[in-house]
Structure 1
Amino acid sequence: MATHFKRITIISYSLFLIVTSSLITVLCYHLFVFNTFSTDDSQTQAFREVSAEQISNSPIKEERSIIEVMSYGCHYCAANEENLAEFSRSLPPGSTFTSIHIASDSNGLAQYAPIFATLEEMGIEKNIRDSAYNTIITRNVNLTEQKALDAWLAKNNIDSAKFNAVRQSAAVKERLSYMAAITDHYAINATPMFIINKRYVVAQDSEFPQFAQRMLQLLKQDK
């Protein structure tokens, strides 16, 4: 009887820890992301529609597009990967879904933008993204340090000399400039954020697939 009671106590305590952990995660997300957006007009809001002038002057050229602004150092970006991959396959014909890295001199989340842009120019960014997330977020490795970066490149069978040469290229500088222009134009200071039809800037305010439906609704709204 005592053993049975002890087992029930252990199970109850384990469930308590699981529920508590989940609630803390959700609470932190809303406090440090959504509440940040709502308490300061200078911050990026959870949902924002830009002006007609901003749409006209947008650095984004695609008319029917969703652009995810992410960061290799963003836990929520990493958690979204599978859902977004599935979502991108469900877009209506003529629509596009792309990801860019937040790029800004004043935002710590942007420090990995040169790595992202270089991998993109090499044509391997999508294939290596999970490794970047895991290394930076899970293992807490700072890939902005050259020694750590070289070790990570070697682990992923990427030639370090080639990577560094591409990193200094005009093409990578253009990619960084493009990402910085979008970050600045839409006042992005948190990730992940989604820019829809050059018009709407939204943060994830619900679980998938509800959030996916919301983005599709906004994508089709200007049709």
Structure 2
Amino acid sequence: MLKRLSFLFVGLTLATACSAGGADPATATAATYTADQYATIAAPVRLDPKDGKVEVVEVFSYGCIHCAHYEAQVEDLQKKLPKGVVFHAIPAAFNDAWAPYAQAYYAAQKLGVLPKTHAALFKAIHEEHYPLGTLDELGDWYAKTAGVDKAKFLAIADSKETHDRIIADTKLIKDWGVDGTPSIIVNGKYRPAQFKDFDELNGMTLFLVDKELKGGK
């Protein structure tokens, strides 16, 4: 089953993202960024090739403290996305330690409790330091926090459907050249690479979204 598999990418390391703060979000949104500040993906590939909307995808993990720091600002980013743009998040399973978090994300999504638990799980792990490293421990936490049936949660988390989804995510993340979290992918084409803080990451994302809405100009 999935929990016995390794999702370690050879050569991939976790990037140490900068702490958020500093820049005025309005200024960051209006800024212009140069091509050396973001990566252009050689073979563009979207998460959802059938949806005609411009897509923004966050690659994250509950095990990543930088993702925990970014959570409030990625929520703010979603509020600033213009019409015609859709936001997705996919959990990275770079290693065995992160695999249960990816499983938990899709189980929570399937059970309809993701809005209630997403930010709360970051807090439980990185601020409250709950021992949430195994799928069994996560099952207890979701049962207590969101009232889900633990057995059902575990069955979904360790199902073939979840297994296949994480395998597909892993390939997609690798194709995008993502080597750390949090990372943002715009329309399968661009990945902000050089940013000093999370305000600038958001600003560059909005710049690239606008570029795509204008047909790549």
Normalised by the length of structure 1, the TM-score is: 0.68
Cα distance, 1:208 vs structure 2: 5.2
- Contact 1:141 1:148 (8 Å CA) reproduced: no
2:78 paired residue number: 88
The alpha carbon displacement at 1:170 in A equals: 4.1
- Asked whether the 8 Å contact 2:104–2:135 carries over to 1, the reply is no
Equivalent position of 2:144 in the other structure: 155
Q: Give, in whole Å, the separation in 1 of the partners of 2:194 and 2:98.
A: 18
Q: Which blocks of at least 5 consecutive residues in structure 2 are unaligned?
A: 1-14, 19-35
The verdict on how the C-alpha distance between 1:180 and 1:165 changes in structure 2, with shifts beyond 3 A counting, is same
Q: Which residue of 2 aligns with 1:122?
A: 111
Select the residue among 67, 74, 81 that pairs with 2:64. Answer: 74
Residues 1:135 and 2:93 are matched in the alignment = no
Pairs aligned (count): 180
Q: 1:101 aligns with which of 62, 71, 91?
A: 91
Q: 1:146-166: per-residue Cα shift (whole Å, max 9, x none)?
A: 552343133212210110122
SS in 2 for 1:33: coil
Larger radius of gyration: 1
1:183 Cα deviation from its structure 2 partner: 1.5
Q: Is the 8 A contact 1:64 1:94 kept in 2?
A: yes
Identity, % of aligned positions: 23
**Deviation by residue 1:123-176 (Cα, 9 ceiling, x = unmatched):** 212320122112222233443425523431332122101101222434423432
1:50 aligns to 2:41 (yes or no): yes
**TM-score (norm: length of structure 2):** 0.70
Distance in 2 (CA, whole Å) between partners of 1:46 and 1:166 is 40
User: Which one scores higher on RCO, CA 8 angstroms, separation ≥ 6?
Assistant: 2
What is the RMSD computed on CA atoms of the aligned residues? 2.9
Counterpart CA distance in 1 for 2:169 and 2:99 is: 10
Comparing both structures, which one devotes a greater share of its residues to helix?
Answer: 1
Distance 1:109 1:190, change over 3 A: farther
Structure 1 gap segments, 5+ residues each: 1-31, 36-44
Residue of structure 1 equivalent to 2:16: 33
Give the match for residue 6 of structure 2.
none
| 1:87-125 C-alpha deviation (Å, 9 max, x unpaired) | 212212111111111134x47545521111111122212
